[in-house]
């Protein structure tokens, strides 16, 4: 959701030798059409690892052919539409003023990092959140309410792995069930993690991602 790429350092460092990770930063882009355009094309074989809010971007690219050399997709704690039922009128609540106050450490632990998260990790996440534009965050949350990339996900033939956190409070297990209904070929794994899987389990997640990606092309970046 933050779109900064500031929280992926440990995960990137744990990837297998030979993989060359590049973080996509969203800047002030809000709508999914604009977010898709933030992903650069490449003449080399590539894989996409998309966590949470970014999963629909990967689904769109995998179906559209926007990345001709796309070899694999990994979705982490993500979704194809709003992961929990939210009435459309709730969009009126997602206004910039709601996000001008930095969330409490207790809330960040409960919703995103887990109650056992190290203090320094909570501090790092709060610093990233404090630097974000409240207007951008509010608009991105509103965009999720009208989101549905189920058809794109179903039509995609790009090999895909889904990694979920067993302690995820935001994305329920039913999301994986829906994905498997659309794509029975979907591979999936679960880690003992809260919603921010790549931040709390960087080494374990990197091992799963590396193994999956390298199966399809040894030169994927």
46, part of any domain: yes
Residue 13: which CATH number? 3.40.50.1820
Range of the domain at 44: 9-85+148-214
Contacts of 205 (CB under 8 A, 6+ apart): 11, 14, 76, 163, 191, 193, 197, 198
**Residue 28: pLDDT over 90:** no
54-78 pLDDT per residue, tens: 999 999 999 988 888 999 999 999 9
139, part of any domain: no
94, part of any domain: no
**Residue 218: pLDDT over 60:** no
Looking at the structure of the chain, the number of domains it has is 1
167, part of any domain: yes
210, part of any domain: yes
40-54 pLDDT per residue, tens: 888 889 999 999 999
106, part of any domain: no
pTM of the predicted protein model: 0.91
The CA-based dihedral angle spanning residues 216, 189, 61, 66, taken in that order and rounded to the nearest 10 degrees: -10
23, part of any domain: yes
- For 199, the token pair is 């931040």
101, part of any domain: no
């Amino acid at each position: 959701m933050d779109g900064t790429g500031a929280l992926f350092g440990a995960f990137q460092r744990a990837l297998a030798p030979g993989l060359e990770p590049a973080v996509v930063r969203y800047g002030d882009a809000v709508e999914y059409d604009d977010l898709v355009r933030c992903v650069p094309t490449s003449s080399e074989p590539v894989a996409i690892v998309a966590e949470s809010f970014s999963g629909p971007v990967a689904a769109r690219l995998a179906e559209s052919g926007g990345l001709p050399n796309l070899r694999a997709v990994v979705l982490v704690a993500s979704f194809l539409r709003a992961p929990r039922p939210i009435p459309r009128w709730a969009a009126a609540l997602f206004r910039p003023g709601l996000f001008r106050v930095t969330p409490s450490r207790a809330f960040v632990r409960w919703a995103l990092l887990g109650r056992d998260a190290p203090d320094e990790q909570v501090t790092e996440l709060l610093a990233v959140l404090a630097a974000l534009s409240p207007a951008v965050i509010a608009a991105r949350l509103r965009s999720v309410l009208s989101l549905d990339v189920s058809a794109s996900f179903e039509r995609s033939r790009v090999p895909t792995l889904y990694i979920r956190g067993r302690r995820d409070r935001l994305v329920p297990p039913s999301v994986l069930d829906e994905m498997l209904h659309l794509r029975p070929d979907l591979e999936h794994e679960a880690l003992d993690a809260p919603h921010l899987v790549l931040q709390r389990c960087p080494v374990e997640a990197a091992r799963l991602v590396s193994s999956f990606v390298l199966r399809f092309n040894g030169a994927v970046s």
